[in-house]
């Protein structure tokens, strides 16, 4: 497919479990973003990659959250010891190689995480 894909689409975890969320960006897209969207709220920035380099992780809410993009394409967001407040939709977005001007971000469908 041509768009950003995310898996799984839905994840239910028991409190304390570790989860891994996957994002496949559009082929050739350099920038990759992770956002967290709580119910009824706008998304909030978590972290940003340019190729394999994690340039900004200022939005990660705690050290239980970890993201990687080892080969500059697929990215994984890992949450350790999940808590109920981690329940949200996790959105991934990618954008093409920068030309020095802002670029449109293309969003995936999101992974809805529910922590019981």
Partner 1 sequence: KNEVEQSPQNLTAQEGEFITINCSYSVGISALHWLQQHPGGGIVSLFMLSSGKKKHGRLIATINIQEKHSSLHITASHPRDSAVYICAVAPFSFGNEKLTFGTGTRLTIIP
User: Which positions lie near partner 1, rule CB under 8 A?
Assistant: 31, 33, 35, 40-45, 48, 50, 55-56, 59, 91, 93, 95, 98, 102-110
Q: Which is nearer to partner 1, 51 or 73 (CB)?
A: 51
Least CB distance to partner 1 at residue 19 (A): 20
Q: Which is nearer to partner 1, 56 or 68 (CB)?
A: 56
Find out whether 64 and 84 touch, Cβ atoms under 8 Å: no
Least CB distance to partner 1 at residue 81 (A): 26
Number of helical H runs and strand E runs in the chain: 0, 11
In whole angstroms, give the CA distance from residue 18 to residue 32.
22
Per-residue CA distances from 21 to 8, 14, 17, 55, 99 (Å): 7, 15, 13, 20, 29
Least CB distance to partner 1 at residue 101 (A): 8
Beta bridge partners of 23: 6, 75
Q: Which is nearer to partner 1, 33 or 65 (CB)?
A: 33
């Amino acid at each position: 497919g041509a768009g950003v894909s995310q898996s799984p689409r839905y994840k239910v975890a028991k409190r304390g479990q570790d989860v891994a969320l996957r994002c496949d960006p559009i082929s050739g897209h350099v920038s990759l973003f992770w956002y967290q969207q709580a119910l009824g709220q706008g998304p909030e920035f978590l972290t940003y990659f340019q190729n394999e380099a994690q340039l900004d992780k200022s939005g990660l809410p705690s050290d239980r959250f970890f993201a990687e993009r080892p080969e500059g394409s697929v990215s994984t967001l890992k949450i350790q010891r999940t808590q109920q407040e981690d329940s949200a939709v996790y959105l991934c977005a990618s954008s093409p190689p920068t030309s020095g001007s802002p670029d449109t971000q293309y969003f995936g469908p999101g992974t809805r995480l529910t922590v019981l």
